[in-house]
Amino acid sequence: MSEHVHTLHPSLWENLLQVNPDDVCRRSGAQFDSSTNSYLLDFLLERYRIHPRNREFEPLTGPIPPGGPSIDLKVTIITYLLSAKAVPLAGKLVSGSNLKGGMTFFQGVHRLPIEPLMERYGKDPEDFLARGLSLGATQEAFGDVGLRFPALPRVPVFMVLWAADEEFPARLNVLFDASIEQHLPLDAIYGLVSEICYRMRR
């Protein structure tokens, strides 16, 4: 995993502690366990328990990465619980640069970390498909291989690979449903994609 872009500030826990759990679940698609006063939320095939009062982020099931969830994933998930809106998918796919402020944000240190995936899978689209399916993605009819990742309940993330051939190098695009702006700020979107890329590289 690359260097973390987030820190888990105590105010995130405080904000999550103060909001109404029913409202959080309605907006985000999370579940609330009243016996432990904690939220249950899925990221890909992984399930986490988020306990605001104890400030605990506990992996429950799924192929949890070595060392447990990263700081970036913790911040992204808590931000999602606080920010998600009860809106349907827009049904329109956009790139990061199409999001408000995305043209300038997704550059430099925030350039989406897809180059290692192109190096690994650029000549092996079948392995790209197999790895994506193992993470819970479904195949879409885009490019040579298109994948739809169930990143968060209201936030699918799409990856489209065009394999290298004699004329052109491999290309990989990351796309989002346009509604993602309703649920996450740009830095959390970057963290979310980074987590998926990390798992795709393993």
Kind and range of the H or E element at 194? helix 186-201
| Residue 157 C-beta-side C-alpha neighbours within 13 Å | 27
Q: From CA 136, how far away is CA 152, in angstroms rounded?
A: 12
pTM for this one? 0.93
CB 141 within 8 A of CB 158: no
In a 10 Å sphere around its CB, with 0-12 CB exposed, 13-18 middle and 19+ buried, how is residue 165 labelled?
exposed
CB under 8 Å to 176, separation ≥6 — which residues?
A: 93, 94, 95, 96, 99, 155, 156, 157, 158, 189
Q: Which two tokens stand for residue 190?
A: 């970057």
Rounded to an integer, what distance in angstroms lies between the CA atom of residue 152 and that of residue 131?
18
Q: Tokens representing 151?
A: 């990143």
CA-CA distance, 202 to 114, in Å (whole number)?
A: 13
- Residue 61 tokens, joined: 């099931």
The SS3 call for residue 141 is: coil
Encode the chain (202 residues) as per-residue pLDDT tens digits: 444 556 788 999 999 999 999 999 999 999 999 999 999 999 999 999 999 999 999 999 999 888 889 999 999 999 999 999 999 999 999 999 999 999 999 999 999 999 999 999 999 999 999 999 999 999 999 999 999 999 999 999 999 999 999 899 999 999 999 999 999 999 999 999 999 999 999 8
Buried b / exposed e along 19-34 (16+ C-beta atoms within 10 A)? eebeebbebbbbbbee
